[in-house]
């Protein structure tokens, strides 16, 4: 189908034409009609050729059309071309009065120059006067010729025709004023848009400069994963991490490994994928690239929403934390080595004291008491060293399998019973049996023991410790709640950090090293689960462990 040119397109095309062509085109319709009338005159109304006015009218139109081409309009005033429609009125007057009464209808041709004059938008008042006076003068001679035998119809025609032409002129004038107004508005809007576009380009440049100045990789993607924006740092990483042949946005996602540095992350666990799925996360540690250039990267993501709250993409930030991770690993290795070295002499001390105390009959009472103190503290030291070793070692391995959690809860309550009785704490379990989860029974038992023992330890005035559990199809949630001393919420947020001890515990002089919860957290994370703490000073604490029901790939 052929495309129809729009009125605006035609107007633009017309404006691009030269002045002469424009004037000639405006004159063309009238000239064509007059030419046809002129050509058929010898055949249809031969008598008209003897009318000087008629012939002069024809000749004037030919002259005017030629003048349209020959006049150097560019050099004249912009309204000079209006002389053509004004002279058209004269030509039509000559034609009409030369041809009357044979062709009185030729007067209607004035509509062409009148439209032209009105549409020009120039010399408005003169044109309005001309559009009424011109037709009046054209009609006048034939009416005067009937003097004094006018009929009412003659007078009506004499007045009505100029008035009609005036109305046509006014209507066109109003329409073109309206159009011009709209055009001006459009122009203003266009200018405003251009200004805004310029400003937004400036802002974009500023934003990119800021983004490029940061040492973190930032990428924005739409919900299909198409890259909308990436800063320099991000591009450098994409190049470094891209396997041969991978596209720029695939790069960082192709060589993404889990925390063990070797297991490739399944696609739905990769940062970009998670972000595109609408997840919002922070401090998600992954390894990017292959050894020896492998980098530890902490990632964070925020979803992008439109005004209707629909997900349109995401912004993902990648920051290189290799140095920090390596420093932490070195620190852990040092702690692990030192605690390992402590273990043998401590074992030797404890073994020898055990031997001495087993055969302590000949020893004075006070020496036995002191040795018992040495034995207790050596054992505490050994416990601490064991915790440190476990905390620092990557040997905290887990062997998860389908495990009944209710059984673990029962065992844990059994072993904490004596401690609870000593502290006048009641132990309550509210756990459905069986309750299956994908867990290492040894490690989760250890985590549970730690939470229950803490709950009792930090309830110095007695109380109740409740272990409850709920399960969904995917997750098992195990809560250990106490009615003890609790801690300030800002402390509760830090309890999983190594060596952290809440002020409440320190003030109450309850002994501890601040390692148990850090180990518990590691155990849960290695299961692909999580642990959270909610507490308020004086109102007890609740620790909630979350464990997967099924094996999680990549965890
Ligand atoms: P530790 O108990 O040896 O100090 P943990 O890592 O087990 O080390 O606990 C860290 C800190 O968290 C504790 O020192 C204590 O301040 C706080 N805490 C842990 N469990 C509780 C609890 N049930 N109630 C109040 N505070 C607790």
pLDDT level of residue 5 (50, 70, 90 thresholds)? low
Closest CA to 416 of 436, 390, 446: 446
Q: What is the pLDDT of residue 121?
A: 80
Within 13 Å, how many C-alpha atoms sit on residue 542's CB side? 11
Closest CA to 439 of 407, 486, 472: 407
Q: What are the backbone angles phi and psi of residue 311, rounded to the nearest 5°?
A: -70, 125
Q: How many CB atoms lie within 10 A of CB 410?
A: 14
Examine residue 196 and state whether it is found in any structural domain, yes or no: no
Q: Taking CA 86 as the corner, what is the angle to CA 80 and CA 88, rounded to the nearest 5 degrees?
A: 120
Could you tell me if the CB of 541 is within 6 A of ligand 1?
A: yes
Could you tell me if the CB of 528 is within 6 A of ligand 1?
A: no
Q: Give the count of domains, the chain.
A: 4
pTM: 0.50
Contact 416, 427 (CB under 8 A): yes
Q: What is the pLDDT of residue 539?
A: 93
Examine residue 474 and state whether it is found in any structural domain, yes or no: yes
Residue 246 has pLDDT above 90, yes or no: no
List residues bridging with 403 in a β-sheet: 437
**Residue 51 DSSP label:** -
| Mean pLDDT for the stretch of residues 225-249 | 71
Residue 412 has pLDDT above 50, yes or no: yes
Give the sign of the dihedral formed by CA 452, CA 456, CA 458, CA 462: positive
Q: What are the backbone angles phi and psi of residue 225, rounded to the nearest 5°?
A: 90, 5
Examine residue 193 and state whether it is found in any structural domain, yes or no: no
Give the sign of the dihedral formed by CA 276, CA 278, CA 280, CA 285: negative
Span from the CA of 454 to the centroid of ligand 1 (angstroms): 6
Examine residue 498 and state whether it is found in any structural domain, yes or no: yes
Both 342 and 299 in a single domain?
no
Q: How many CB atoms lie within 10 A of CB 432?
A: 12
Examine residue 301 and state whether it is found in any structural domain, yes or no: yes
Both 300 and 412 in a single domain?
no
- What distances in angstroms separate CA 364 from CA 221, 332, 367, 372, 374, one per listed residue? 78, 44, 5, 13, 15
Could you tell me if the CB of 533 is within 6 A of ligand 1?
A: no
Both 388 and 405 in a single domain?
no
Q: What is the pLDDT of residues 297-334, one digit of tens each?
A: 999 999 999 888 888 999 999 999 999 988 988 887 88
Both 223 and 115 in a single domain?
no
Q: Which atom of ligand 1 is nearest to 513's Cα?
A: 3
Ligand 1: which of 454, 492, 514 to mutate, judged by most atoms within 8 Å of the beta carbon?
A: 454
Cis peptide before 30 (omega within 30 of 0): no
Q: Does 274 or 18 have the greater pLDDT score? A: 274
Examine residue 194 and state whether it is found in any structural domain, yes or no: no
Contact 450, 522 (CB under 8 A): no
Could you tell me if the CB of 505 is within 6 A of ligand 1?
A: yes
Q: What is the pLDDT of residues 175-188, one digit of tens each?
A: 888 888 998 999 99
Using the 3D structure, point to which of 392, 412, 429 is the last residue of a domain: 392
Q: What is the pLDDT of residues 370-403, one digit of tens each?
A: 998 899 889 888 888 887 777 666 557 788 999 9
Span from the CA of 335 to the centroid of ligand 1 (angstroms): 21
Both 423 and 531 in a single domain?
yes
Could you tell me if the CB of 484 is within 6 A of ligand 1?
A: yes
| Mean pLDDT for the stretch of residues 473-496 | 94
Using the 3D structure, point to which of 338, 370, 392 is the last residue of a domain: 392
Q: What is the pLDDT of residue 1?
A: 44
pLDDT level of residue 197 (50, 70, 90 thresholds)? very high
| Mean pLDDT for the stretch of residues 357-380 | 89
Q: How far, in Å, CA of 348 to CA of 26, rounded?
A: 116
Span from the CA of 64 to the centroid of ligand 1 (angstroms): 106
Both 384 and 412 in a single domain?
no
Q: Which atom of ligand 1 is nearest to 495's Cα?
A: 12
E-only strand ranges, 401-521: 401-404, 425-430, 436-439, 463-471, 475-482
Ligand 1: which of 390, 391, 480, 495 to mutate, judged by most atoms within 8 Å of the beta carbon?
A: 495
Cis peptide before 402 (omega within 30 of 0): no
Q: What is the pLDDT of residue 328?
A: 84
Could you tell me if the CB of 514 is within 6 A of ligand 1?
A: yes
Contact 256, 264 (CB under 8 A): yes
Q: Which atom of ligand 1 is nearest to 519's Cα?
A: 6
Both 155 and 280 in a single domain?
no
Could you tell me if the CB of 522 is within 6 A of ligand 1?
A: no
Span from the CA of 376 to the centroid of ligand 1 (angstroms): 21
Q: How far, in Å, CA of 242 to CA of 249, rounded?
A: 9
Tell me which residue has its CA closest to atom 9 in ligand 1.
Answer: 514
Span from the CA of 512 to the centroid of ligand 1 (angstroms): 8
Residue 2 has pLDDT above 50, yes or no: no
Domain region containing 273: 217-320
Residue 456 has pLDDT above 50, yes or no: yes
């Amino acid at each position: 189908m052929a495309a129809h040119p729009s009125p605006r397109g035609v107007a633009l095309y017309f404006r691009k034409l030269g002045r002469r062509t424009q004037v000639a085109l405006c004159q063309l319709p009238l000239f064509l009609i007059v030419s046809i009338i002129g050509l058929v005159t010898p055949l249809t109304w031969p008598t008209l050729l003897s009318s000087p006015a008629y012939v002069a009218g024809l000749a004037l139109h030919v002259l005017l059309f030629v003048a349209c081409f020959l006049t150097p309009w560019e050099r004249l005033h912009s309204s000079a071309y209006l002389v053509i429609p004004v002279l058209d009125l004269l030509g039509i007057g000559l034609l009409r009065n030369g041809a009357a009464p044979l062709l009185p209808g030729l007067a209607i041709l004035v509509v062409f120059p009148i439209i032209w004059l009105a549409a020009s938008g120039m010399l408005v008042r003169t044109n309005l006067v001309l559009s009424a006076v011109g037709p009046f003068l054209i009609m006048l001679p034939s009416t005067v010729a009937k003097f004094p035998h006018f009929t009412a119809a003659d007078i009506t025609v004499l007045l009505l025709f100029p008035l009609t032409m005036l109305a046509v002129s006014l209507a066109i004038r109003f329409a073109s004023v309206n159009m011009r107004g709209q055009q001006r508005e459009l122009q203003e809007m266009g200018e405003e848009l251009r200004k805004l576009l310029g400003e937004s380009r400036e802002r974009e440049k500023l934003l990119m400069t800021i983004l490029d100045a940061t040492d973190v990789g930032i990428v924005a993607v739409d919900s299909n994963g198409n890259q909308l924006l990436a800063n320099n740092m991000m591009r450098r990483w994409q190049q470094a991490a891209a396997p041969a042949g991978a596209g720029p946005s695939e790069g960082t996602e192709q060589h993404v490994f889990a925390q063990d540095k070797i297991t490739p992350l399944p696609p739905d666990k990769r940062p970009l994928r998670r972000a595109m799925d609408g997840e919002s996360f922070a401090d998600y540690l992954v390894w990017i690239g292959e050894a020896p250039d492998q980098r530890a990267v902490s990632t964070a993501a925020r979803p992008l929403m439109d005004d209707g709250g629909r997900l349109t993409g995401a912004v993902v930030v990648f920051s290189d934390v290799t140095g920090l991770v390596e420093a932490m690993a070195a620190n852990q290795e040092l702690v692990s080595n030192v605690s390992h070295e402590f273990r043998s002499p401590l074992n030797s001390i404890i073994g020898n004291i055990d031997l001495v105390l087993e055969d302590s009959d000949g020893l004075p009472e006070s020496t036995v008491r002191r040795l018992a103190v040495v034995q207790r503290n050596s054992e505490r030291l050994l416990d601490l060293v064991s915790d440190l070793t476990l905390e620092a070692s990557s040997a905290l391995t887990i062997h998860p399998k389908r495990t009944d959690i209710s059984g673990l809860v029962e065992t844990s309550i059994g072993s904490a019973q004596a401690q609870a009785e000593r502290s006048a704490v009641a132990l309550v379990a509210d756990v459905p049996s069986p309750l299956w989860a994908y867990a290492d029974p040894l490690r989760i038992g250890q985590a549970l023991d730690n939470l229950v023992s803490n709950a009792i330890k930090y309830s110095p005035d007695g109380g109740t410790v409740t272990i409850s559990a709920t399960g969904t199809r995917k997750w098992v949630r195990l809560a250990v709640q106490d009615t003890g001393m609790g801690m300030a919420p800002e402390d509760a947020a830090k309890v999983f950090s190594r060596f952290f001890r809440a002020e409440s515990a320190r003030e109450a002089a309850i002994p501890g090293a601040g390692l148990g919860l850090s180990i518990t957290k590691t155990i849960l994370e290695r299961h692909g689960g999580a642990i959270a703490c909610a507490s308020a000073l004086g109102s007890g604490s609740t620790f909630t462990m979350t464990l997967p029901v099924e094996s999680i790939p990549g965890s």
